[in-house]
Chains A and B, each alone.
Chain A
Amino acid sequence: MKKLLTGNEAIARGAWEAGVVVCTAYPGTPSTEITENAAKYDEMYAEWSPNEKVALEVGLGAAIAGGRALVSMKHVGVNVAADPLFTLSYTGVNGGLVLVSADDPGMHSSQNEQDNRHFGRAAKIPVLEPANSQESKDFTKLAFDISEMFDTPVMLRTTTRVAHSQSLVELTDREEKGIKEYQKNPSKYVMIPANARHRHVVVEDRLIKLKDYAESTDLNRVEWNDTKIGVITSGVTYQYVKEVLPEVSILKLGMTFPLPQKMIMDFADKVDQLYIVEELEPFIEEYVRSWGLDVHGKDTFPLIGELLPETIAAKMVQTLGDCSPRETAEPDQLQYEVPPRPPVLCPGCPHRGLFYVLNKLKVTVAGDIGCYTLGCLAPLKAIDTTICMGASIGTAIGMEKARGKDFARSLVAVIGDSTFIHSGITALVDVVYNKATTTTIILDNRITAMTGHQHNPTTGFTVKGEPTKEIDLVLLAKAVGVERVRVVDPFELEGLEKIVGEELAAEEPSVIITQRNCALIDKSRNNPYSVFPGACTGCLRCLKLGCPCIAKEGKKVRINLAQCVGCGLCATVCPSEAIRKEGSAND
């Protein structure tokens, strides 16, 4: 049976078919749906781990104990998991372990566009790159076989286009692999220096064997055509090349580390001109150049951003003149301006009130990763820095240490509930331990909202929806030594402003927890609000909230009743009581 699946759905299916017993992850676009789909299969344990390092540690524990384990994350998640990864390469596995790294060329939803093939090379583990959903499933299964065959973790590297594109996939049944026998083996699994020295030799031997494997595996294949031009490519870029350059010969690499040197040299030998078409980094190109081959790569194709079919065709024509690409359309030269449509905080979002207050108080805000990062955009413009998951609190400490305690009187760190658990908690420990006076605001909307509402240790539910113990953020903050901990409803603007002011003034660490359900899961819909035109003075203060339901109309404002969820924040900030609830008595 063929089914239309995204790359992510196909990876989850592949894990199930491969007899995987444990799936772990921290949500992150474009990887999130792998675990959401894996959790639907009863045969596999699945979890949202607090962060990617823990996810990999749980996965490697399962693998060392003899079960097959799938660990998935977005590209920047691998940075967090890098510590166990590099040593896992030394210990090897027992049951197979596959680490999915979902990279995001074009930064559709990320803070950078790193190319994680570099991680595969640095950790000395094989890297497979599927080009569509069928390959996502097949390569996942094959990755488990390679993992067990060579006693190594394997990286399955996808990109947003593979993860989020749907194509047809042939489904098969699950093959139960059972749990391999576990034997205590400290020289393999206890990486004290004396043992690790021996294991490094094993890693290098393994790489040599993997290089041989790369030469013979079906993962790498040549599609012969006209030999005037040969293209080496991998991942979704292969599909683009196939579409826009139907005449060329292609060496499609399904395994990009280690590379099949002999295969590539043979291919290069048989074509007149060699091109390497790869997204982001010149990963394959640098190897090929180091072997003394003359190639076109990043001299022709862009290093930055997602590679598009039309770019590939255009650049080939520019350098070569005649490479008979399929005809592409003439770009439209229309002369009109289309305003951008950036994402915004949702109608009724509980973070809006806080950012309104922070903007009003003109404080410096060290931000973090989550929906609330959108608080940096106009009109709220309330965030000064955003680096990575969990960076806000540490950033604020550094700002205070550099500029002094007075600066800290107008400085806050903001961080979401899930992000706080992910990697904020350790920095909060640093606040207390190293005597900073930082004010930390935990934006607790009771869910991991940005990635589409995944549970986390503060919600009280697992990925399978089972009730579990819920972390008490107040007790947690107190336990690390913060004495001033306040909980506040971010819709109560007056109280919120007062509390923020008090905690900023306090010359000691404090935590404010703004607690209100994410607007997208809060089902208690209220009547919408509307503007009473007679009373509206056109002061436009409500527009400073950045609510997508409120728009300027002439000199006054109007509210889009279909979108408004009735949070009433606009009524709170209106100085002339012109915004009133629909159906209320004074209408």
Chain B
Amino acid sequence: MTDITNILIVGVGGQGTILASRVLAGAVQMTGQDVKVSEIHGMAQRGGSVVTQVRYGKEVASPIIPEGEADIILAFEKLEALRWLPYLKKDGSILINDQRIDPMPVVVGTAQYPSDILDIIKKERKEVFIINGLGKAIEAGNAKTVNVALLGLLARCLKIDKKTWLDVIRETVPFKLLEVNLKAFEEGWNSFDR
């Protein structure tokens, strides 16, 4: 399975994870590789935990990623990063949007939002990148472009031309919002430092 790249995009319903996965899959397709995407939605659209799985390589059979085999997790929210961490390879990378969205059991006081999520994750995995996605999106001019800012960060970790990414964003995003999304992508792209 070494010739397949497995990427998990996780977040909270309504955050735009699905658009991000579509752009990623589109970019992969332009490189001529086989790609499969699996998304589960329905109830999850109402603020539930959502996950999209993107797999690509020479030939991909299963559309879903087994536990412990994701090369990269892109997390739109901290708690979701922790929830899906077991899916990440021991030497995989996790990119985390430093944002907290309380789930209902926390809101009503029947559960605790862990206060040390980033510490737990840093202890478990070496490659942890944290980004203030909301800040980057606001800098770009629209708070709703968090997803594309995060995609910019992810793009830096993959071996796909920047031009390919920009082309796919141009095809995917409505023209009215293109400018601000391209800016958000740049913000994410430039936030990567190793």
Contacts and interface: CB of A to CB of B under 8 A. Distances in A.
B143 interface: yes
A337 interface: yes
Nearest to A74: B42
B53 to A, nearest CB: 9
Given A543-B107, A550-B107, A108 B40 contact: yes
Contact of A552 (B26, B36, B107): B107
Given A164-B38, A332-B68, A342-B105, A452 B61 contact: no
Given A108-B40, A329-B69, A552-B107, A339 B112 contact: yes
B40 A328 contact: no
B109 interface: yes
B82 interface: yes
B168 to A, nearest CB: 11
A341 B48 contact: yes
Interface stretch (B83-91, B157-165, B175-183): B83-91
B114 interface: yes
A339 B45 contact: no
Interface in A327-354: 327-332, 334, 336-346
A551 interface: yes
B1 A326 contact: yes
A310 B37 contact: no
Interface in B139-179: 143
Nearest to B21: A166
Interface residues of B, number: 55
Contact of A166 (B12, B36, B107): B36
B104 A344 contact: yes
Contact of A239 (B63, B90, B106, B143): B63
Contacts of B107: 543, 546, 548, 550-552
Contacts of A344: 46-48, 104
Interface in A228-243: 236, 239-240, 242-243
A562 to B, nearest CB: 6
Contact of B109 (A168, A242, A345, A552): A552
B61 A243 contact: yes
Interface in B44-103: 44-49, 60-64, 66-69, 79-80, 82-83, 85-86, 89-90, 102-103
B64 A339 contact: no
13 contacts: A29-B42, A109-B41, A165-B37, A166-B35, A309-B62, A332-B85, A337-B111, A339-B113, A343-B13, A343-B44, A374-B43, A451-B42, A546-B104
7 smallest CB-CB distances across A and B, nearest first, come from: A329-B68, A109-B42, A339-B111, A343-B48, A341-B103, A343-B46, A332-B86
Given A239-B63, A551-B106, 18 more contacts: A108-B40, A161-B63, A236-B63, A239-B61, A243-B61, A328-B68, A328-B69, A329-B66, A329-B67, A338-B79, A342-B48, A343-B43, A343-B44, A343-B45, A344-B47, A346-B47, A379-B108, A452-B45
